[in-house]
């Protein structure tokens, strides 16, 4: 066993010492796999950024109520009478004045022009209350001020403001029934609400001529309050509504796009991986061909076939890992934290989010690279082990 390990180490060292002499061909593996890993990690970082933005929205001690059978707020209707019943239901926390910490909201879309995107850009308009910060303490104004009740004023999420230059403080935006003035910018810790426009609920209701809300969000009164609140809704025959914890609801809104990007990522990775695999095969076959005499000499003096096979595989894996490091580093430098906006197919609205290159994605890229390297080195390694010793030495 010790002898075999010594043989593997000796042959591998010989192979690696010859890499500088074959730098050009060796770079074929490194560059090819770097491209595969870089593209794959970048695509998955996009999916991870989108997923984490939605999954990170909301808190477990808050619940959102929609119409029964509705998949999202856009298709939901909660009548005003129902909203009042919800706010008075068991399990809802109350403030120091005894008022329920619950907020019925209106949810609609508006088109915001963008210079580099002539098509429609749907942005969420959320009709909420000026004291929304009681229910959502993670939100805060970072520029300008909060809108005033009863006035056609808008506060813009930081993500939306970054993606749409026209949503600047002092500008106007068409919400409903004419222009509304933008008076502030808010942030909510990087969640999906930063892609929204917030306006006064009652003003929006009158402008849009609505008599109902789209959802009701409530602050739960303790760990067991969710089930209490849910049971109260289910038992009331006046309510045909459904309730979810906030994180569960928003996480479900990312599934369609996340699945699409994941399928696209694996498809692109497979196509590019096939190209990198052929490059690795050609490179390793060439490496074996240039070392025919060395390999034959080692076999003649007693080195076994297994050390030769393993040494070629180790070389291919090391080159693949180098490509993985280069590709992963490039993806991290150029894409991690890069902010974009895209259409969420489930809500038909624009969502701003940042790419997230996570350690898990880098490990996944390394595994993918090693698989390509192992396949690319396997057949050349077998050829090296089966090399006719006598013929190779005679040809030399």
Residue 340 is assigned to a structural domain of this protein: yes
Last residue of a domain, one of 239, 273, 292: 239
Among the ranges 13-27, 215-229, 372-386, which has the highest mean pLDDT value?
215-229
Q: Are residues 18 and 147 in the same domain?
A: no
Q: pLDDT by residue (tens digit) across 239-248?
A: 889 999 998 8
Structurally, the chain folds into a number of domains equal to: 2
Last residue of a domain, one of 239, 274, 291: 239
Q: pLDDT by residue (tens digit) across 166-215?
A: 899 999 999 988 899 999 999 998 888 999 999 999 999 999 988 899 99
Q: How much is the mean pLDDT over the chain?
A: 83
Q: Are residues 216 and 88 in the same domain?
A: yes
Residue 249 is assigned to a structural domain of this protein: no
What percent of the chain has a predicted confidence (pLDDT) above 90?
39
Least reliable range by pLDDT among 68-77, 184-193, 259-268: 259-268
Mean pLDDT to the nearest integer, 354-382: 86
Residue 64 is assigned to a structural domain of this protein: no
Going by C-beta distance under 8 Å and a sequence separation of 6 or more, which residues neighbour residue 257?
47, 50, 342, 344, 345, 346
Return d(Cα 268, Cα 203) in angstroms, integer.
48
Q: Are residues 36 and 115 in the same domain?
A: no
Within 10 angstroms of residue 235's Cβ, the number of other Cβ atoms is 10
pLDDT-based confidence at residue 293 (cuts at 50, 70, 90)? low
Return d(Cα 263, Cα 291) in angstroms, integer.
41
Residue 63 is assigned to a structural domain of this protein: no
pLDDT of residue 301: 63
Q: Are residues 10 and 91 in the same domain?
A: no
Within 10 angstroms of residue 61's Cβ, the number of other Cβ atoms is 16
Cβ contact 127:205 at 8 Å: yes
Q: Are residues 277 and 311 in the same domain?
A: yes
Residue 319 is assigned to a structural domain of this protein: yes
Crossing angle for the helix pair 359-385 and 255-290, nearest 10 degrees? 30
Q: Are residues 196 and 305 in the same domain?
A: no
Q: Exposed (0-12), middle (13-18) or buried (19+): which is 171, by Cβ within 10 Å?
A: middle
Return d(Cα 323, Cα 27) in angstroms, integer.
9
Within 10 angstroms of residue 12's Cβ, the number of other Cβ atoms is 19
Q: Are residues 32 and 134 in the same domain?
A: no
What are the beta bridge partners of residue 92?
A: 220
Last residue of a domain, one of 239, 273, 299: 239
Domain of residue 264 covers 2-55+255-395
Q: What's the half-sphere exposure (Cβ side, CA atoms, 13 Å) at 182? A: 25
Residue 18 is assigned to a structural domain of this protein: yes
Residue 250 is assigned to a structural domain of this protein: no
Return d(Cα 316, Cα 321) in angstroms, integer.
9
pLDDT of residue 121: 80
Q: Are residues 234 and 307 in the same domain?
A: no
| Residue-wise DSSP of 312-353 | HHHHHHHHHHHHHHHHHHHHHHHHTT-EEEEEETTTTEEEEE
Q: Are residues 222 and 175 in the same domain?
A: yes
Q: Is the C-alpha dihedral spanning 332, 334, 338, 344 positive or negative?
A: negative
Q: In terms of DSSP bridges, do strands 196-200 and 122-128 run parallel, antiparallel, or are they unpaired?
A: parallel
Q: Are residues 166 and 270 in the same domain?
A: no
Residue 204 is assigned to a structural domain of this protein: yes
| Residue-wise DSSP of 104-123 | EEEEEEEE--BTTB-S--EE
More confident: 26 or 328: 328
Q: Are residues 84 and 178 in the same domain?
A: yes
Return d(Cα 299, Cα 381) in angstroms, integer.
14
More confident: 13 or 30: 30
Residue 343 pLDDT > 70, yes or no? no
The reported pTM is 0.76
Q: Are residues 32 and 77 in the same domain?
A: no
pLDDT-based confidence at residue 18 (cuts at 50, 70, 90)? low
Cβ contact 139:133 at 8 Å: yes
């Amino acid at each position: 066993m010790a002898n075999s390990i010594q043989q593997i180490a000796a042959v591998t060292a010989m192979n690696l010492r010859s890499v500088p002499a074959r730098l050009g061909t060796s770079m074929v593996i490194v560059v090819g796999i770097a491209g595969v890993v870089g593209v794959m990690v970048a695509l998955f970082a996009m999916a991870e950024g989108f997923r984490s933005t939605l999954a990170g929205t909301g808190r477990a001690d808050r619940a959102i109520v929609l119409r029964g059978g509705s998949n999202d707020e856009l298709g939901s209707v909660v009548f005003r009478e129902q909203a009042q019943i919800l706010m008075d239901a068991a399990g809802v926390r109350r403030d120091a004045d005894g008022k329920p910490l619950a907020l019925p909201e209106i949810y609609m879309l508006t088109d915001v022009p963008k210079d580099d995107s002539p098509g429609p850009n749907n942005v969420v308009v959320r009709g909420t209350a000026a004291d929304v910060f009681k229910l959502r303490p993670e939100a805060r104004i970072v520029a300008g001020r909060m809108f005033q009740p009863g006035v056609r004023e808008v506060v813009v999420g930081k993500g939306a403001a970054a993606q749409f230059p026209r949503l600047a403080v002092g500008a106007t935006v068409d919400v409903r029934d004419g222009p509304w003035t933008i008076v502030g910018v808010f942030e909510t810790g990087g969640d999906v609400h930063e892609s929204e426009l917030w306006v006064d609920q009652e003003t929006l209701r009158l402008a849009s001529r609505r008599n109902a809300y789209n959802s009701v969000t409530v602050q739960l009164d303790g760990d067991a309050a969710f089930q209490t609140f849910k049971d109260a809704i289910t038992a009331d025959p006046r309510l045909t509504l459904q309730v979810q914890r906030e994180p569960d609801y928003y996480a479900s809104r990312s599934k369609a796009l996340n699945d699409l990007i994941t399928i696209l990522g694996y498809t692109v990775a497979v196509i590019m991986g096939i190209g990198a695999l052929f490059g690795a095969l050609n490179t390793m076959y060439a490496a074996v061909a240039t070392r025919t005499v060395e390999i034959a000499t080692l076999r003649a003096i007693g080195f076994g076939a297994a050390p030769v096979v393993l040494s070629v595989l180790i070389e291919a894996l090391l080159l693949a890992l180098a490509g993985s490091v280069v590709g992963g580093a490039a993806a991290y430098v150029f894409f991690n934290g890069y902010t974009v906006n895209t259409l969420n197919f489930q809500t038909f609205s624009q969502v701003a989010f940042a790419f997230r290159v996570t350690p898990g994605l880098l490990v996944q890229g390394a595994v993918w690279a090693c698989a390509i390297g192992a396949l690319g080195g396997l057949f050349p390694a077998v050829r090296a082990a089966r090399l006719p010793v006598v013929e190779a030495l005679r040809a030399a």
